[in-house]
Every structure is written in structure tokens, then in C-alpha cells.
Chains A and B, each alone.
Chain A
Amino acid sequence: MSTLISLPDQSTARVPKKNYITNENGIMSWLLTGDHKRIAILYLISLTFFFFIGGAMAALIRLELLTPQSDLMASDTYNKVFTMHGIVMIFFFLVPSVPATLGNFLVPLMVGARDLAFPKINLLSWYLYMAGGCLALYAMITGGVDTGWTFTTPLSTHYVNTNVVTTGLAAFIAGFSSIFTGLNFIVTIHRMRAPGMTWFKMPLFLWANYAAAILMVLATPVVAIAIVLVALERTVGIGVFDPTKGGDPLLFQHLFWFYSHPAVYIMILPGMGVISEVISTFARKRVFGYSAVAFSSVAIAIFGFFVWAHHMFIMGVSNYAALVFSLLTMLVAVPSAIKIFNWTFTLYKGSITFETPMLYAFGFMGLFTIGGLTGVFLGVSGTDIHLTETYFIVAHFHFVMVGGMLMAFLSGIHFWWPKMTGRMYPEKISQLAAVVTFIGFNFTFFPQFLLGMLGMPRRYAAYPPEFQVLNVFSTAGASILGVGYLLPVLYLIWSLKYGQVAGDNPWQATGLEWQIQSPPLTENFTEIPVVTQDVYDYEWLERQKEHEVTHVG
């Protein structure tokens, strides 16, 4: 099968001596750096660490659920494990994943700038992230927390005796890291685009990250407020959420989901941006309906703010409120459908190759479609009554978050790995890893849809024996999935030394980031580029190549 990759002659090619990695040496040059690319690498390393902590929790959960009895762990321990799985994965992996690594690395490169607007705030955001992460780990080691990642009151304020405040503080601090990243992206995209880089010449990755950044800046403060109120209620008993003091426990649900529903789009939108870049590059085509895809990102961000109460359909909101929120939820489903169809039609009359990033992107499209469609089951108020709070919802959001976002993250990491490190990852084994991940994923989470239909509640350490077979399937799939996630870590580290030298533009991609050396210089561009070409302009790229050949040759 033919391939797209064009590498320089390996016998003579070298990774450029002068680049952002070799520019300065010593640990302090990393810890005090203002370089967006180095901060991205710091984020990548720490995110991977937290991902495997969360992954280990997931493994424990699946092992416990292998049998109907609660035999591996006491139910208290199980509750702590799934709580930490949720908190670590959401606040310390999924929310920062693509924006903080790929976004930090690529936003300045893609707009044609030398750095983000506020490099020091960018570094601060990493420190806040690490402070939050370490605090969460500290809370976990010194007794854990068992409220669920949702911190539901009054359970979290009056009825548990675990590290609620410490963990809440960890999420609170991590929230600021997210706000700073969002702020940086918004200002950079508004103010620092290279000459000629108009809004509609921006790669869709930027549109998606821009939409996510707006959500980060506007929604995160609300969860910060909710967490502070929980902490105050727990420590001094202010009674905002306490019905015996005239408070309302539903108010917490409103505040929490006002952030946590948009947070879902904070997590998925940047992943969608990755998919747009990858599909376009490996189909050698402009993204079909560029403006529809761009506007659908913004539409998701806007509608995403007005659907939060669909998490509360059975919680005693008025029937008419349920009606309105259900309708709005149907509307937010449409832009996602638009994206899926546009990506599909990008393939039409393309010239497609199937390298690893593309395989992950295909995985994303399949799994995200399932995740999105099952989301409609939960957004329709009637069916939500039967399906909510069961394994159906667990399967649904894992299809979106893990099947969607994690696939997109891995797709993006493989796609930009040559740009970040100057070396290629090994192609064959990574294709295998992509396939293994896809198979393992489906084995793990598809049975959970059936369990949910049958009514198995989530967050159960013990369950009726009739659900066991499907749980065994799920656990078996999880072990395959685990292999699929370990493989990339191993071969990507291997590739740092032994990978083939990538050259500037191994994928023949059109973005500004591919027109400079890999890994880039600290200042990115020796001179700020002037953008004359269109976005995803493959004909322009051909002309450039011919131009080079005639001039150099």
C-alpha cells in the first residue's frame, strides 16, 4: 500500500543541531522556560503520568467488577478508586490533554507567531496544573475521597469523612490552569495572527481550540464557585445547599453542571480540531465544508452552555424545564453530526493513505458517532428516565471521552510527533497499536451499553449475578485496551533516539508549522511568514516544492 511519508535521505539526514530542545540545557532551563513548545512538552510528560495513574484506577475498577461480589476491595475503597479515576482523568488528563500539549505547541506555530501572547502566564498555568495534580495525589494517598467526581451535595458536605476539601482545592487550582490556557489562546488567536492569516485561513484546529478556550474562560469560574461553596458549607456550614437551613441541594447540581456540561465540549472540541487536520492531510484535500466545520465548533460552544439541566431530568426539575433543555440538547447534537458528515465527505475524491494518525482518526469517527448517537438517547427526556445513572451513561461518555477524545489525542500525538521531536515513530507497530486500541475499546465499553439497558446502576461495587457475563467481557476488553495504551509509550520513547529523521514536512501537510524545521527553533520563525496561500492549499504546496526543486536543483 502506498504511503504519503516522504523522508529525507536517512544516510545524510540529521536532526537540526539548533532547535528548541537543544537551545538551552539543564533542568532549570525547562522549569523556568517561557517557550510554548517546552511548556507543551512539560505538559505532555505530566499528563501521561496522570493518565497512567487514572488508568491504574480503571484497571482496579474493572478487576473488582469481574465478580458480582465486592471481593477485591471493600466498597469504601471501591468508591474512592472510582472517584479518583474520575477526578484524575477529567481534571488532570482530559480537560488539559489536547489544548495544553498540542494546543500549546501548535497554536503559535499555526497562526505564525513566535510564542503565545503571555508566555509567563502559560508557564504559571503548568505550575498550577502540577500543584493541583500533586494536591489531588496527596489527598488520594492520605485517605482519598469518596464523593464521586461530581462532589454531589449533601453527600460531600455532610455525610462523608474524607479529603473533600483538599481534593476540591486541587480541582479549583487546576481550573485556573485551564482558564489561563484559554485566555492565552483567545488573545493569541485574536491579536497575533501573521500578516495575511485571516480568520477563514486558519486551520480548523485553531477554530476548535478557540471555541474550547471560550468555554474554559467562561465556564470554569462557575465550578470554582461551586467548589468554594462546598468547602464553606463543609467547614463552616453556611447552608447554601442544606435544606434544613433553607438551602437547596439542587442548586449545587445546577452550578456543577453549568460547568461540567460545557467541560465535555472543552474536552472534545480540541480533539475535533485534530481530526480535521489529520483527515485533510491524509486525504490530500481541503476539509469539505470548511466554514460549516468552523461554525459548528462555535455553535457547539454556544449551545453547550444551555443544556446543563439534561443531567437533572429525574431530579425534580419541572417538566417544562425538562422540555426546554431536552430540545436544546437536540440542537447541540446537530453540529456534531455536521462535522462527522463533513469529515466523511473530505475523503470523497481524495487520495487517501492509512498511516497511524489516520487510523486513529477513523477510530475517532466511528466511536464518536456511537457516543454522539447514544447521547441523544440520554438527551431525550423520556428515554433518559430509564437509562440515566446506569452503565449506559458510563458507556456513552467513555465512547465520547475515551473513544473520541483519547483517539484524537493519540492521533494528534502521532501526527505532530515528527514536528515535536524531529523523528518518526515506527509505523508498523503503531498501526498495530491503533487497531488494538480500537478493538480493546469496543470490547470494554460496548457491553456496558447492554448492561445499562438491563438497568445495572453505575458506581456499584457489587451487582446482581446476572450481569456478570457482560462485565467479564468488559474487563477482558480493558486488558486489551491497556496493551493498546502501553505500546505507544514504549515505541515513542524508543523513537526519540532510534526513530527515522523526519525532515521538515514528512506528511506533505499545508500548515505553517510544517514549513519550518523539525524540531522548530525556539523563536519558531526566523522571519514572520506572510500568508498568501489558502488554508489546506495542497496545490500551493505542490508549487512550493517545484519552486524549491528548480531553485536548489
Chain B
Amino acid sequence: MDHISPVLWQFLVKWMTTFAIIPPEASTIAPKMDALLVFMTLVSIIGLTIVALLITTFSVLYRKDRNPQATQIEGSTLLEATWTIIPLGLFLIMFVWGSVLYFRIFTPPANAMNIYVVGKQWMWKAEHPGGQHEINSLHVPTGQPVQLTLISQDVFHSFSIPAFRVKREAIPGRYTTVWFEATTTGTYHLFCTQYCGTAHSAMIGEVVVQTPEDYKAWLASSTSGVSLAQNGERLFSSLSCAACHNGAPDARGPNLANVYGSKLTLTTGQPVLVDEAYLRQAILNPSAHITQGFAPIMPTYQGQISEEGLISLVEYIKTLNSNYRVQQTTNTTELLPEGPDKPGKSSAAQGGTK
């Protein structure tokens, strides 16, 4: 064949040697996704084969040459019931199985480490809690659940990691989350899968999965020295938020300590749960959510703080909650680079491996 068309031959050889129909499985969810995909593919192939076999058999048996006179048949309630109930049953099995998977992918576990991701035309910016920034790449450790909190600065984007089998839309004006736990070290594709304009196909990057030790080393080498919350604290004071939100009994703004995760009552009498989305909205559009007992005097910050700035502020306000601080510490202590002032046993271990 290679003397007929060397180009085609090269293609075929290359394809046959690297042929894959599924991407590598690099997260805990990937084998679960693939199990369902295999089940559904099998059911589909069987269904298609049944239809194809029936059509072929009938076409051969009842072609005009063999069967010159058709027999008129009205129908059969029994058969109708059969091919209504069996496909419905199979579809329902797929539905239940798929929904379990869906809830798993979009319900992060409590011990997940949070990384913020901001999408903008045409790049991905990841913000690690320790203050590390990356563009068009994402470093994550194996064996640690990682939650991504996504938001877009302009249009819809979609954060897709085929090797992890997860994907989530980054939407302008609201946070979305997805989580995964990487299992295999390596470098994988990161795609923007929602069409977002001119350079959509250039909005790609790589996900680097490292062992916890390597990840720790990477964190240490790329730290800016200021964590996300510390950055938020600076913004908090430079925007003079503390002028009102100072926690004093006669303060003009609500006390922000322990506000994250609590239930507030608005002046409308409506209770709200204070989460990231609420905090973001309350900064950008404060008059829409006035906490009971306070006057609508806070100015809007729409257009004055970037999405990254908002993330820092939100992260800072979150750390004002002591429970969140404790939880963050237990989730990420193992992974955070040790500061020079507190040499720990893990940095010694790290030194040992080098």
C-alpha cells in the first residue's frame, strides 16, 4: 500500500499505532464515566443491530421476487407495548445512572481544595489560594479533591478537561463549580469548548497533574508571596470597606466576621444564604440586597473591581469565618508551601527528595 500513496500510508500507520477512542483516564470520575459510556454504547450497538438485522431479514424474505403478495396486518398491541416498554426501561436505567454521575461531578466534597478560574477572551486565568497565578495552564496534585470555581469576565466560556471527563461553563456574572480528583500524573488538554469569538480555538492550555511533592515544589516556586485572602485584605482596606464594615456595634454596614456561610435576613424579610455568589452580588449591586437593620447607603462597585479582585475580596471575607479558616487549613496545609518562618517536617522531606 505504501507504494500507492505514501502519504495515506503514513497516516494509517500513525493512526493505527496511536489509535484511541477515549482519552486517557486521569481522574477518579473518568472510569465511572467510561463505564456508563461503555454500557450505553453496548445497548446502542445491540439496538442498532436488532433494527438492521430485522430490516435485512425482512428485505430478503419478503422481497417481491419471493413474496409477490403482501399480507395486510393492522398492528399488534403486544409488540407496540414491547418496543415502548423495553426502550423506556433501558433509557430510565441510563437516566438514573447518568444522574448519579451528574450529581457526583457537580457536588464538590467538603474537603476539596478550591481554585478560582477566570475565563476571558481568550485565556484562562487560574488563581490558587496561596496567591499563585497561571495563564492557560492549571497545576493540580494527585489524590486531592480540587474544586474549581469558575467565572467569566466577558462571554460564555467552557472549561473542559477531556482526560478528567469534566467540563463546566464559565458564565459572566455568576460562579459555577465543578470538581475532580486527579489520579495519574501527566499533562493533559485543557480546552475552551463554548464558542467565544475570534480566537476560540486558541483558548487552550494544559492541565499539569503532579505528585503532591512536585505540586508543593511548584507552588513554592511560583508564589507571589501574597495569598488570595491577603490580596483581598489589601483591596478591602484600599477601597475603605472597613469604614462601614468594621464590626463596631454602631457600624453603618453589617459585621463581616463569620458572615460567610450564615443566613441573613434582608429588609424584604427574605432569608438568604451567604455564599460566594451572594458576596459578589452584594459588592457589585448592594442596593438589591440590604441586610435587615441597615440603610441602603453602600455605593455600587460595578465596573470598579476586576473579577480577580472580586475573587480576592470574596476569599478574604470567607476567611473572616473561623470555620472556613479551619477547614481551609486542614484541606490545604499538606499542600501549602511552608513559609520561611515555620520550617515544617514536610519541607524537610521535600529537601530530602531533592
Residues on A facing B (Cβ under 8 Å): 1-4, 70, 75-76, 79, 146, 148, 150, 152, 154-155, 158-160, 243-244, 246, 248-250, 283-286, 288-292, 313-316, 319, 322-323, 326-327, 330-331, 333-334, 337-338, 340-342, 344-345, 347-354, 362, 365-366, 369-370, 373-374, 376-377, 380-386, 388-390, 450, 453-455, 457-464, 466, 468-470, 472, 538-539
Evaluate contact between B40 and A292: CB separation under 8 angstroms. Answer: no
Evaluate contact between B40 and A353: CB separation under 8 angstroms. Answer: no
CB of B154 within 8 Å of the partner chain: yes
Interface residues as binary, B60-77 with A (CB distance below 8 Å gives 1, 0 otherwise): 001111011111111110
* Contacting residue for A459 out of B55, B105, B189, B200, CB 8 A: B200
Contact flag A286-B176 (CB < 8 Å), given A244-B302, A458-B193: no
Evaluate contact between A330 and B193: CB separation under 8 angstroms. Answer: no
Residues on B facing A (Cβ under 8 Å): 11-12, 14-15, 18, 20-23, 33, 36-37, 40, 43-44, 47-48, 51-52, 54-55, 58-59, 62-65, 67-76, 79-80, 83-84, 87-88, 91-92, 94-95, 97-103, 105-107, 121, 154-156, 158, 160, 162-163, 165-169, 171-174, 176, 189, 191-202, 204, 284-285, 288, 302-303
Residues of the B chain whose Cβ atoms lie less than 8 Å from the Cβ of A158: 154-155
Residues of the A chain whose Cβ atoms lie less than 8 Å from the Cβ of B20: 454
Closest CB of chain B to A377's CB: distance in Å?
A: 6
Known: A75-B199, A316-B176, A383-B37. 12 other contacts (CB 8 A): A249-B172, A249-B173, A342-B80, A353-B64, A354-B59, A366-B55, A373-B47, A384-B98, A390-B160, A457-B160, A457-B191, A469-B14
Evaluate contact between B99 and A323: CB separation under 8 angstroms. Answer: yes
**In the complex the two chains form, what is the Cα distance from A3 to B105 in whole Å?**
57
Residues of the B chain whose Cβ atoms lie less than 8 Å from the Cβ of A337: 83-84, 87
Evaluate contact between A155 and B54: CB separation under 8 angstroms. Answer: no
Closest CB of chain A to B135's CB: distance in Å?
A: 19
**In the complex the two chains form, what is the Cα distance from A338 to B37 in whole Å?**
24
Residues of the A chain whose Cβ atoms lie less than 8 Å from the Cβ of B166: 385-386
Task: Identify the 6 closest CB pairs spanning chains A and B, nearest first.
Answer: A455-B162, A243-B173, A382-B101, A380-B98, A382-B98, A389-B193
Contact flag A350-B70 (CB < 8 Å), given A249-B171, A463-B201: yes
Contact flag A70-B201 (CB < 8 Å), given A330-B91, A455-B23, A472-B11: yes
**In the complex the two chains form, what is the Cα distance from A479 to B40 in whole Å?**
31
Residues of the B chain whose Cβ atoms lie less than 8 Å from the Cβ of A381: 98-99, 101-102
Give the residue name and chain of the B residue nearest to A450 (CB).
B21
Give the residue name and chain of the A residue nearest to B32 (CB).
A382
Residues of the B chain whose Cβ atoms lie less than 8 Å from the Cβ of A461: 200-201
Give the residue name and chain of the B residue nearest to A388 (CB).
B167
Evaluate contact between A347 and B52: CB separation under 8 angstroms. Answer: no
Give the residue name and chain of the B residue nearest to A287 (CB).
B75
Give the residue name and chain of the B residue nearest to A466 (CB).
B18
Evaluate contact between A369 and B51: CB separation under 8 angstroms. Answer: yes
Evaluate contact between A286 and B200: CB separation under 8 angstroms. Answer: no
**In the complex the two chains form, what is the Cα distance from A455 to B168 in whole Å?**
14
* Contacting residue for B197 out of A160, A315, A384, A538, CB 8 A: A160
**In the complex the two chains form, what is the Cα distance from A484 to B197 in whole Å?**
33
Give the residue name and chain of the A residue nearest to B69 (CB).
A351
Evaluate contact between A154 and B172: CB separation under 8 angstroms. Answer: yes
Contact flag A386-B167 (CB < 8 Å), given A4-B64, A75-B198, A453-B22: yes
* Contacting residue for A373 out of B11, B44, B68, CB 8 A: B44
Interface hub of A351, A380, A538 (most chain B Cβ within 10 A): A380
Closest CB of chain A to B67's CB: distance in Å?
A: 5
Closest CB of chain A to B116's CB: distance in Å?
A: 16
* Contacting residue for B83 out of A75, A314, A338, CB 8 A: A338
Evaluate contact between B40 and A382: CB separation under 8 angstroms. Answer: no
Evaluate contact between B75 and A1: CB separation under 8 angstroms. Answer: no
Evaluate contact between B154 and A75: CB separation under 8 angstroms. Answer: no
Closest CB of chain B to A298's CB: distance in Å?
A: 15
* Contacting residue for B200 out of A154, A376, A460, A469, CB 8 A: A460
Evaluate contact between A148 and B40: CB separation under 8 angstroms. Answer: no
